[in-house]
Amino acid sequence: MTDLETPVATPPRASPLRRAAPALLGYAAVRALGLVALAVWSAANGKSAHTLLSARWDSLWYTRVAELGYGYEVRLPNGDVHANLAFFPLLPWLERLVSAVTPLSYADAGVLVTAVASLAAAWGIFAVAGHVHGRRAGVCAVLVWAVLPVGIVQSMAYSESLFTALAAWSLYAVLTGRWLTAGLLAALAGLTRPVGVAVVAALWVAAITSFVGEHRRDGSTPWRDGARAWRRALAMIIAPLGAAGYVLWVGHRTGKGPLGYLDVQAGWRNGFDGGYAFARFVAEKFTSFPSALAGVALIVGVALIMWLYVTCVRQGQPPALLVYTGVVVALALCASSYFGSKPRLLLPAFPLLLPLATALARLRTSRSVLVLGSVAVASAVYGAFWLNGSGPP
């Protein structure tokens, strides 16, 4: 056999976990830094970092659902009714499950679920970004998500990490043609947060686009490929079942029909008004000089989000990602209440970070590490300060 005929050994393909390892290790390091900063700051203020992570704000509501089920409500002096029916059930179900099989309390089970979900979310973000822009950009996307100023929420017993994990993996399944997996994950995302409709919309758009694209390519009827067509069609049916099922159940329980969930949200003075209330909130900041600075910061923040979205479009992100991001951003910015919550409500909109990730990926490793490391320290300090102060309502 000549040298030309000598077979060349093909290096084994790295496993998905091994490919994602740098991203996951970097993510874990950033989260550990944030937790250390929180512990130090809380101790200095005589507060418990554990309590801040597991038993404040929405965490308490999720814990009550896990412990007592639905039906708990608080009537405020102004007549508003805060009912725990506003909180979707998947996180409290998982808290109850973990607490049943471990010695952990519901609150601690929530922290554990969030810790695991945040790693799953990081892996999902890596998978999506790596599929679209390459492995290096995937690593950078995970780290940019980790160092966001409100990144500490990823470690709280909130539903943002769980939802982002389900959304990211559903989107990855859509991008890689795993339609039934995408539909099931979309249904679970719909059981986690109302914004689960963003995952459903992304799946529907991708499925419809693929049908139309096949028809245009070969001139045949796309339904002729029965196996693939029915997987897509079934995924489109499965995807909305989680959100629709819970909303309809709430309507039945409250006796107010399909719109009962909207009445529950109205009790929290929350709804969708196209951004009018938020615009008025920003405008009111300009009534005095100190608050005007906050108003300018809010305008700059919204402008940055819009610029990133336009950049995502120009980069040619897949339609599923653009639709998902657009719905998440619209629901976050156009909600009529809880303006301080908007930064954390935007956490699941991770495709917005892909332009930043691709820019970092083009830098030398030493420079990208320096940039991300500096931002990670600033984010850790801010997260500790924020959670010990106003925090995420």
Tell me the per-residue pLDDT of 118-130, one tens digit each, with 9 for 90 and over.
999 999 999 999 9
Q: Is residue 120 part of a domain?
A: yes
Q: What is the DSSP code (8-state) at residue 13?
A: P
β partners of residue 74: 82
pLDDT for the residue numbered 215: 54
pLDDT for the residue numbered 287: 83
Q: Is residue 323 part of a domain?
A: no
Give the list of residues 6+ apart from residue 27 with CB closer than 8 angstroms, or none: 118, 119, 122, 142, 143, 145, 146
213-258 pLDDT, tens digit per residue, is 655 554 544 444 555 788 999 999 999 999 999 999 999 999 888 8
Q: Is residue 260 part of a domain?
A: yes
Q: What is the DSSP code (8-state) at residue 82?
A: E
102-111 pLDDT, tens digit per residue, is 999 999 999 9
Q: Where are the beta strands (DSSP E) in 28-171?
A: 73-75, 81-83
Q: Is residue 393 part of a domain?
A: no
Residue 164: closest CA among 141, 134, 183, 192:
192
319-352 pLDDT, tens digit per residue, is 999 999 999 999 999 887 777 788 999 999 999 9
Q: Is residue 13 part of a domain?
A: no
Q: Where are the beta strands (DSSP E) in 69-133?
A: 73-75, 81-83
C-alpha angle 147-367-378 in degrees, rounded to nearest 5 = 30
How far lies 349's CA from each of 26, 56, 123, in Å?
20, 24, 15
Q: Is residue 296 part of a domain?
A: no
pLDDT for the residue numbered 222: 43
The two three-digit tokens of residue 174, written as one number: 């859509």
pTM higher than 0.95 for the full model?
A: no
pLDDT for the residue numbered 67: 93
Tell whether the torsion through CA atoms of 333, 334, 340 and 342 is positive or negative: negative
Contact 27, 122 (CB under 8 A): yes
Q: Is residue 81 part of a domain?
A: yes
> How many angstroms separate the CA atoms of 302 and 35, rounded?
28
Residue 169: closest CA among 377, 289, 324, 41:
324
> How many angstroms separate the CA atoms of 168 and 180, rounded?
15
Residue 108: closest CA among 70, 47, 59:
59
Query: How many separate domains does the chain show?
Result: 1
Give the list of residues 6+ apart from residue 221 with CB closer than 8 angstroms, or none: 215
Range of the domain at 265: 20-270+364-387
Q: Is residue 343 part of a domain?
A: no
